[in-house]
């Protein structure tokens, strides 16, 4: 492959722009000087791109290569792979695509392919795969995401589209100017604001929050983790039982109601259904009064504190911030709906520094920056298959073809999947109950995975295609919600035998004898030019004069546009004129009670916010599994990406992911800081390194997500040696309404590991043999 090698240059990642240098063969990626708070995740890039886990050649699972699809005897995830030539890999895939299409049709191909892949507008792994499969008749897709599925489905019924909410989130500038109190459920963890989909040129959240604190804004942090609030904010830390926030918010609402501290005029003008919720809070419908005493028992937060807080919130300009982590849990719709109810009762929605926001810090751009124009992307074409699943039902689908289930008011049926193709995601990181996913992954006749590294997902495939990383291809970078466009000229040659996804599908298009509806007969360069001229035209209309693409690449400079709404206030328009700016809900108002949702008759998501005790939480803890496991986002990487890199490895304990445990819980189990521990429950077990700290609530253990799943298949419980929390999480959903993942509701026990410590094999390639070219 002939490609240019630029010695010094610029690139873009989901965690920000990077300055790339190659000196004496050593690759280095550093933050950009324009970025006030660059991310250290950059440090993972060199080690992970050339480490042992890098996929070097196409590879095929042994018995699949021997016996062909469907009738292999071996077990996915256990067997080794044979490295083959690209020619052989293409031959196998071409034949298999034709067979599956002919025998079963395109609705037997699942390519939901959920995952973050890499930054870059053209070489977007999912976009490329979906465009290619659409050119051959389509595929079964997935809907929603793992991040905030309950919010995506619920909010349109009660306040309007969630993505709109994210885009218009109340800015910190307005909190600094007029805010007095920020009440955070799940904090605003700066570690998470390192990333934004597609990238973020300048990390400003830290500065924004510090400016608010300096201006005298007070912060309250309801969270199992003290560090979810930046230390300098001096936030009051209240550590409830995880999963009890709905009860806490109900107690606050009940206090506002019974102390006559709520805004009746606002409720009357801007919402529907208050009376029904009020009756519920007062216990008129179920005999349970949702007062502070009731919530104190459920949450461990003293009743007096809750009563006092309700008074503080009503007397001050208050912003309620709810982390999306809270809705990644059993009945995760409820804390969202309660957030809306509470903010409606306070009557400050649409005022600067007031109201509510969901997902601050879940993405570096929320409440910080917005884009002036839509950045270009690769069109995916038309999918002729209508079947889809809610994203987190992948195991259910593979294990139960033909079964019916409920989703968002509809009854749907699982398709019968014969082929799975995944590009740009790692379900063996992101999905819950990985032992169950392992079983589910035995069902299809063929699994193809495109990957950069030998992740556990690649190890559970039949055919693995090595793809080049973003440093190994030319692209245009722009965060979905950022105001900057970043050149991404290729920095290093494609490593080993890796190819870009685009090259892979162009070759398949040829071999399958298709017309050129995938490639349009264009090169990478021609596509980038097409995207650039499209962007240039839009920019021109908005009053910006962009350089030519080659100039943009040569200059290596970030192009900044103006933020269209630096002082945005969520629902300001609606507040000013609720008729002209009616919400896109059935009534046009905030729905505190939803006729539509009530009409679905779902016991796990009734027509108004309801306290439903989670399936697994400290309120239901047993002596067998007395600890609540929270698995939040890791500071040292983006999910599971680049886990073999230096920064990620630097925080591991004897090679295992750290688990935070309170000194009391450690002491009673004879555990010291730095010990290796076994976390276990009825679904599985994993090893982790104990980090003993009083910044975590007693009774809660906190294990970061993303350590590559590394099961010891000779161990009776398939013990994971590396520390992936998803061997412990359950595979039930939030509710029938949104079928969102509910990873944060999990009970476990933990003990000190005794005996000889098994080696971590997560990064070892599973290769037994290499065939000639």
If one asks whether residue 18 binds ligand MGD (CB under 6 A), the answer comes out as no
Rounded to a whole number of angstroms, the minimum distance from the CB of residue 131 to ligand MGD is 14
If one asks whether residue 370 binds ligand MGD (CB under 6 A), the answer comes out as no
Q: Among Mo ion, ligand MGD, none, what binds residue 762 when CB lies within 5 to 8 Å by partner kind?
A: none
Q: Name the one range near Mo ion by CB under 5 A: 63-71, 119-127, 144-152, 758-766.
A: 144-152
Convert residues 307-336 into a mask of x (bound to ligand MGD by CB under 6 A) and - (unbound): ----------------xxxx-xx-------
- In DSSP terms, 701 is beta-bridged to 629, 661
Residue nearest to Mo ion (CB): 147
Q: Which of positions 3-22 make contact with Mo ion (CB under 5 A)?
A: none
Cα 477 versus chain centre, distance: 20
What CA–CA distance (Å, rounded) separates 700 from 428? 24
What CA–CA distance (Å, rounded) separates 656 from 230? 26
Query: Can you tell me which of 89, 212, 225, 319 binds ligand MGD, judged by CB under 6 A?
Result: 225
What CA–CA distance (Å, rounded) separates 744 from 631? 7
If one asks whether residue 147 binds Mo ion (CB under 5 A), the answer comes out as yes
If one asks whether residue 192 binds ligand MGD (CB under 6 A), the answer comes out as yes
- At 693, list the tokens: 């700290």
Rounded to a whole number of angstroms, the minimum distance from the CB of residue 156 to ligand MGD is 19
Q: Which of positions 428-447 make contact with ligand MGD (CB under 6 A)?
A: 429-430
Which residue is associated with the tokens 């043999």?
A: 769
Decide if 162 contacts 339 (C-beta within 8 A).
Answer: no
DSSP string computed for 145-175: -SSSHHHHHHHHHHTS-HHHHHHTPPPHHHH
If one asks whether residue 202 binds ligand MGD (CB under 6 A), the answer comes out as no
Query: Can you tell me which of 314, 318, 453, 491 binds ligand MGD, judged by CB under 6 A?
Result: 453
Is residue 8 classed exposed, middle or buried when 0-12, 13-18 and 19+ CB atoms within 10 A define those classes?
A: exposed
Q: Which residues are marked as active site? A: 114, 116
Rounded to a whole number of angstroms, the minimum distance from the CB of residue 147 to Mo ion is 3
Is residue 456 classed exposed, middle or buried when 0-12, 13-18 and 19+ CB atoms within 10 A define those classes?
A: buried
Decide if 728 contacts 686 (C-beta within 8 A).
Answer: yes
Convert residues 318-357 into a mask of x (bound to Mo ion by CB under 5 A) and - (unbound): ----------------------------------------
- At 677, list the tokens: 């521990």
Task: Look at the chain and count its residues.
Answer: 773
Choice between 574 and 732, CB closer to ligand MGD: 732
Sequence-distant (6+) residues with CB within 8 A of 164 are none
Query: Can you tell me which of 47, 51, 112, 224 binds ligand MGD, judged by CB under 6 A?
Result: 224
Q: Which of positions 145-184 make contact with ligand MGD (CB under 6 A)?
A: 146-147
Q: Among Mo ion, ligand MGD, none, what binds residue 54 when CB lies within 5 to 8 Å by partner kind?
A: none
Q: Phi, psi (5° rounding) for residue 730?
A: -90, 160
CA distance to 334, 344, 556, 604, per residue, from 349 (Å): 19, 7, 42, 28
Going by their DSSP bridges, the two strands 446-451 and 463-466 should be labelled as parallel
Q: Among ligand MGD, Mo ion, none, what binds residue 735 when CB lies within 5 to 8 Å by partner kind?
A: none
Choice between 549 and 703, CB closer to ligand MGD: 703
Query: Can you tell me which of 233, 536, 744, 753 binds ligand MGD, judged by CB under 6 A?
Result: 744
Convert residues 85-124 into a mask of x (bound to ligand MGD by CB under 6 A) and - (unbound): ------------------------------xxxx----x-
If one asks whether residue 220 binds ligand MGD (CB under 6 A), the answer comes out as no
Cα 569 versus chain centre, distance: 25
If one asks whether residue 498 binds ligand MGD (CB under 6 A), the answer comes out as no
Rounded to a whole number of angstroms, the minimum distance from the CB of residue 362 to Mo ion is 7
What CA–CA distance (Å, rounded) separates 89 from 265? 67
Query: Can you tell me which of 135, 633, 685, 735 binds ligand MGD, judged by CB under 6 A?
Result: 633
DSSP annotation of 10 reads E
- At 332, list the tokens: 């995760």
Q: Among Mo ion, ligand MGD, none, what binds residue 630 when CB lies within 5 to 8 Å by partner kind?
A: ligand MGD
What CA–CA distance (Å, rounded) separates 267 from 589? 10
- In DSSP terms, 423 is beta-bridged to 450
DSSP annotation of 577 reads -
If one asks whether residue 435 binds Mo ion (CB under 5 A), the answer comes out as no
What CA–CA distance (Å, rounded) separates 601 from 594? 11
Convert residues 690-709 into a mask of x (bound to ligand MGD by CB under 6 A) and - (unbound): ---------------x----
Nearest to 284 by CA among 309, 258, 317: 258
If one asks whether residue 684 binds ligand MGD (CB under 6 A), the answer comes out as no
Q: Name the one range near Mo ion by CB under 5 A: 145-153, 395-403, 413-421, 752-760.
A: 145-153
Q: Which positions lie near Mo ion, rule CB under 5 A?
A: 147
Provide the binding-site residues for ligand MGD, judged by CB under 6 A.
115-118, 123, 125, 146-147, 185-187, 189, 191-192, 194-195, 222-225, 228, 240, 242-243, 245, 323-326, 328-329, 362, 423-426, 429-430, 450-453, 455, 467, 501, 630-635, 638-641, 705, 725-726, 729, 743-744
């Amino acid at each position: 492959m002939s490609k240019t090698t630029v010695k010094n240059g610029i690139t873009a990642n989901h965690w920000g722009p990077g300055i790339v240098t190659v000196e004496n063969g050593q690759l280095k990626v550093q933050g950009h000087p324009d970025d006030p708070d660059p991310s250290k995740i950059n440090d993972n890039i060199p080690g992970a791109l050339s480490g042992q886990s890098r996929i070097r050649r196409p590879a095929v699972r042994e018995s699949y290569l021997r016996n062909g699809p469907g009738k292999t005897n071996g077990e996915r995830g256990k067997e080794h792979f044979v490295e083959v030539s690209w020619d052989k890999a293409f031959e196998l895939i071409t034949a298999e695509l034709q067979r599956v299409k002919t025998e079963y049709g395109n609705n037997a191909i699942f390519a939901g392919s959920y995952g973050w892949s890499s930054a870059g507008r053209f070489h977007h792994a999912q976009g490329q795969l979906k465009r290619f499969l659409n050119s051959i008749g389509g595929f079964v897709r997935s809907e929603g995401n793992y991040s905030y599925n309950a919010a995506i489905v619920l909010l349109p019924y009660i306040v309007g589209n969630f993505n709109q909410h994210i885009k218009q989130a109340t800015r910190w500038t307005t909190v600094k100017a007029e805010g007095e109190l920020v009440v955070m459920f799940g904090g605003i963890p700066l570690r998470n604001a390192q990333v934004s989909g597609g990238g973020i040129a300048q990390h400003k959240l830290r500065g924004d929050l510090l400016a608010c604190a300096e201006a005298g804004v007070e912060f309250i942090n309801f969270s199992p983790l003290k560090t979810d609030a930046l230390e300098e904010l001096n936030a009051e830390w209240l550590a409830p039982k995880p999963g009890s926030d709905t009860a806490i918010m109900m107690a606050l609402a009940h206090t506002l109601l019974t102390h006559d501290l709520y805004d009746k005029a606002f409720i009357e003008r801007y919402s529907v259904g208050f009376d029904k919720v009020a009756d519920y809070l007062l216990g008129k419908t179920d005999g349970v009064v949702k007062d502070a005493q009731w919530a104190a028992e459920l949450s461990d937060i003293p009743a007096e504190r809750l009563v006092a807080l309700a008074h503080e919130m009503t007397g001050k300009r208050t912003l309620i911030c709810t982390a999306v982590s809270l809705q990644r849990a059993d009945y995760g719709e409820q804390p969202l709906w309660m957030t809306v109810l509470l903010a409606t009762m306070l009557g400050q929605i649409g005022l600067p520094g007031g109201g509510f926001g969901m997902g601050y810090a879940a993405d570096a751009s929320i409440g910080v920056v917005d884009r002036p124009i839509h950045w270009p992307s690769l069109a995916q074409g038309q999918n002729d298959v209508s079947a889809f699943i809610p994203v987190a039902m992948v195991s259910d689908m593979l294990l139960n073809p033909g079964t019916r289930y409920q989703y968002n008011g509809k009854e749907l049926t699982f398709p019968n999947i014969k082929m799975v193709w995944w590009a740009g995601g790692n379900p063996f990181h992101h999905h819950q109950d990985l032992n169950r996913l392992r079983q589910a992954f035995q069902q299809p006749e063929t699994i193809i995975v495109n990957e950069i590294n030998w992740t556990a997902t690649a190890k559970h495939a039949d055919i693995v295609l090595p793809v080049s990383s973003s440093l190994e291809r030319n692209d245009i970078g722009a965060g979905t919600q950022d105001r900057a466009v970043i050149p991404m000229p290729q920095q290093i040659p494609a490593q080993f035998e890796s190819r870009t996804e685009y090259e892979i599908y162009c070759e398949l298009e040829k071999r399958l004898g298709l017309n050129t509806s995938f490639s349009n007969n264009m090169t990478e360069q021609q596509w980038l030019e097409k995207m650039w001229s499209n962007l240039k035209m839009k920019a021109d209309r908005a009053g910006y004069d962009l350089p030519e693409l080659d100039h943009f690449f040569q200059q290596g400079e970030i192009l900044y546009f103006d933020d269209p709404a630096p002082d945005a206030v969520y629902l300001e328009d609606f507040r000013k004129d609720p008729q002209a700016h009616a919400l896109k809900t059935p009534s046009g108002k905030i729905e505190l009670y939803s006729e539509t949702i009530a009409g679905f008759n779902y016991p796990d998501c009734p027509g108004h916010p309801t306290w439903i005790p989670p399936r697994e939480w400290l309120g239901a803890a047993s002596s067998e599994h007395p600890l609540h496991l929270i698995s939040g986002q890791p500071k040292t990487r983006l999910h599971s990406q680049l886990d073999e890199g230096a920064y990620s490895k630097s925080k591991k304990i004897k090679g295992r992911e750290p688990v935070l445990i309170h000194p009391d819980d450690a002491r009673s189990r004879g555990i010291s800081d730095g010990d290796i521990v076994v976390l276990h429950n009825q679904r599985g077990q994993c090893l982790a390194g104990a980090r003993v700290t009083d910044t975590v609530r007693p009774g809660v253990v906190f294990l970061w997500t993303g350590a590559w799943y590394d099961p010891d298949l000779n161990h009776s419980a398939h013990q994971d040696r590396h520390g992936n929390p998803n061997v412990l999480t359950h595979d039930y959903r939030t509710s029938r309404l949104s079928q969102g993942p509910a990873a944060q509701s999990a009970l476990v026990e933990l003990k000190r590991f005794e005996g000889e410590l098994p080696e971590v094999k997560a990064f070892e390639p599973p290769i037994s043999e290499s065939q000639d070219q």
